[in-house]
Amino acid sequence: MIKITNLEKYYKTEEVKTIALNKLSFEVKEGEFAAIMGPSGCGKSTLLNILGMLDDPDGGSYLFNGIEVANFNERKRANLRKHNIGFVFQSFNLIDELTVFENVELPLIYTGVKPADRKARVDEVLEKMQIMHRRKHFPQQLSGGQQQRVAVARAVVNNPKVILADEPTGNLDSSNGNEVMDLLTELNEAGTTIIMVTHSEHDAKFSHRIIRMLDGQKVTENVLV
């Protein structure tokens, strides 16, 4: 599903070159649940941005479903991204001016799904996430746990092959955090590949494999199942 080889990313100023990813290599197979851990500044978020095709690497290879995407331009990246990848963020990233239904509907609009089909698919995923009763509410009228459920619903409404989760429980209490991790586990068991960046050892234990990073490199890898 995903294979990166000698991936590099660096940021330059006039005086300093900061290496974010230093010849990083690993593979995530279809249907796997992988957790990426490491201290702040080790390159986790940079990696997730590249895996999500929000940014491009400065060197190395990135194969997505056998397609080399490291050198794709933004238009090609965006087209591949919107049909294959869903995102779940720590800060939810919902649009305050849109209702729950409208937030979840957005990815379907971007991919050109017809209105009648959009309604059916949004209703289905809201039922699955047990948030249908809040469909007409706005994000600020929801609890943190409910907002993250909406964010997960938005991430999966297009049936993506991969979900990239960046600290998905970071703004939640333990009860709501466990609910979100259970949701991600259910999605994975249904066949969705999940790559999660987390600082939480507890959350990482929901995964099949933990990849630990330091200074832009993989330092250890532990298989849990």
Residues with Cβ within 8 Å of 169's Cβ and at least 6 positions away in sequence, in order, are 148, 176, 177, 180, 181, 198, 200, 203
Helix (H, G, I), strand (E, B) or coil at 84: helix
Return the pLDDT at 90: 87
Using a pLDDT cut of 90, give the percent of the chain over it.
81
Q: What's the rounded mean pLDDT across residues 180-202?
A: 94
The yes-or-no verdict on residue 202 having pLDDT over 90 is: yes
Using a pLDDT cut of 70, give the percent of the chain over it.
100
Distance of CA 132 to the CA centre of its chain: 23
Helix (H, G, I), strand (E, B) or coil at 176: helix
Q: Residue 153: pLDDT band by 50, 70, 90 thresholds?
A: very high
Return the pLDDT at 5: 96
Return the pLDDT at 207: 96
Return the pLDDT at 99: 97
Return the pLDDT at 133: 95
Residues 93, 87: Cα–Cα separation, whole Å? 10
CB atoms inside a 10 Å sphere around CB 160: 20
Return the pLDDT at 17: 86
Return the pLDDT at 147: 93
Residues 139, 89: Cα–Cα separation, whole Å? 15
Return the pLDDT at 104: 96
Tell me the C-alpha to C-alpha distance, in Å, between residue 155 and each of 42, 88, 161, 186, 194: 26, 6, 11, 14, 11
158 near 117, Cβ under 8 Å? no
Judging by DSSP bridges, how do beta strands 33-37 and 193-197 pair with one another? Answer: parallel
Q: Residue 102: pLDDT band by 50, 70, 90 thresholds?
A: very high
- How do residues 36-74 score in pLDDT, each as one tens digit? 999 988 999 999 999 999 999 999 999 999 999 998 999
- pTM here? 0.92
The DSSP letter of residue 109 is H
Q: Residue 224: pLDDT band by 50, 70, 90 thresholds?
A: confident
